[in-house]
Amino acid sequence: MALKILLVITHNGQSIDDQVHNAVTACLQLDVNYHAMVLGHDCQSVIDEARKMKGLQKLFFLEHVSLEFGLAEPSAESISQFISDYDYILFPSNTTSKNILPRLAALQNISPITDVCEIVDKDDRIFKRPIYAGNIIETVQSEQDINILSIRSASFTKTPISSEANVDIEHISPDLSSIQSKHLGCEITKLDRPDLVGAKVVVSGGRGLGSVESFQLIYDFADCLDAAVGASRAAVDAGFVSNDYQVGQTGKIIAPDVYYAIGISGAIQHMAGMKDSRIIIAINKDADAPIFKSCDYGLVADLFDVVPKLVKHLKK
């Protein structure tokens, strides 16, 4: 039996969030086509991009001025009016969906399954998801008729968009009069460097750096690679950097294409935050450091000796 699927497309007002393309792959694992939904205000470029998604049958554009910033209250309320038409509602897993999805689920009395890393059985509704920061994989079965999932992008490939638009758009102005929540201001502050979450390349430093001043080596190296900067908990606890840089179980959990672990021993709490990176490169003077057991390329050397040489090499 064909499944009825709705994909909620998250975006930044200009373009579709990268993780949506991974969620499309999950939709296509569930069935050959699906519906999708964009919530926003005055975001034509997002609509143009969304129309080209592979397998898309129908696109809803819910337009309302209070949907402009992806706020949870109006977004959850808007989507909830569509839920009963579908077997599956999918979101990409990112901070936008994490904000909206659980609220939506609660409004509909549904237990969602977030961060799905594998669809085991779409008819018996069996899914896998990481718990304990990815140190354990849990298999869960849902007893609900309607299921709300978020899709972990590191576990699904991206489905590229097609060259031409395949679908028409149904334009809807949702009724948001019941929303009591009031938001008074909203602005995105861009950080100076590539964001740790979502960066293609990340350079992280650990306790081995030894001081705040020495951590500059990490910034220099990251600049050569246009990379985001991270740190181990040990480096944060030692005061080398603030804790927004922390990669690990209690910090950020990331999966870049390339991860450089410099002066990081590879404590379990750190590995939990980066072990899904495509390539892990480690530099540490201790040949017995656990990081060398799970990296793709390792260099046993004094980081103060080799990192400046790497910077020089890359600047060539």
Among positions 70-99, residues that touch other proteins (CB under 8 A) are 71-73, 76, 94-96, 98-99
The smaller minimum CB distance to other proteins, of residues 55 and 206, is found at: 206
Q: Are strands 88-92 and 147-151 parallel, antiparallel or unpaired?
A: parallel
**Ranges within 219-258 binding other proteins (CB under 8 A):** 225, 242-244, 246, 249-251, 258
Q: Does 265 bind other proteins (CB under 8 A)?
A: no
| Adjacent-strand bridge partners of 172 | 62
Q: Does 29 bind other proteins (CB under 8 A)?
A: no
How far, in Å, CA of 251 to CA of 233, rounded? 8
The smaller minimum CB distance to other proteins, of residues 211 and 250, is found at: 250
Which structure tokens are listed for 259?
Answer: 């991860």
The smaller minimum CB distance to other proteins, of residues 55 and 91, is found at: 91
How far, in Å, CA of 88 to CA of 148, rounded? 6
CA distances 80 to 103, 146, 181, Å, are: 10, 12, 16
Angle, vertex CA 54, rays to CA 52 and CA 58, nearest 5? 70
Binder among 12, 25, 33, 214 for other proteins (CB under 8 A): 12
Binder among 126, 165, 169, 311 for other proteins (CB under 8 A): 126
Q: Does 273 bind other proteins (CB under 8 A)?
A: no
- 3-class state of residue 278 by DSSP: coil
The smaller minimum CB distance to other proteins, of residues 160 and 308, is found at: 308
The smaller minimum CB distance to other proteins, of residues 170 and 257, is found at: 257
Least distance from C-beta 284 to other proteins, angstroms?
10
Whether residue 153 contacts residue 22, with contact meaning beta carbons closer than 8 Å, is answered with: yes
**Ranges within 161-200 binding other proteins (CB under 8 A):** 180-191, 195, 197-198
Applying CB under 8 A, the span of 35-43, 50-58, 162-170, 305-313 interacting with other proteins comes to 305-313
Residues in the chain: 316
Q: Does 65 bind other proteins (CB under 8 A)?
A: no
Binder among 14, 123, 136, 164 for other proteins (CB under 8 A): 136
> 58 Cβ partners below 8 Å, 6+ apart?
35, 36, 167, 168, 170
Whether residue 280 contacts residue 296, with contact meaning beta carbons closer than 8 Å, is answered with: yes
Q: Does 301 bind other proteins (CB under 8 A)?
A: yes
Least distance from C-beta 50 to other proteins, angstroms?
19
How far, in Å, CA of 289 to CA of 277, rounded? 19
How far, in Å, CA of 209 to CA of 292, rounded? 18
Q: How many residues bind other proteins (CB under 8 A)?
A: 90
Binder among 42, 65, 160, 293 for other proteins (CB under 8 A): 293
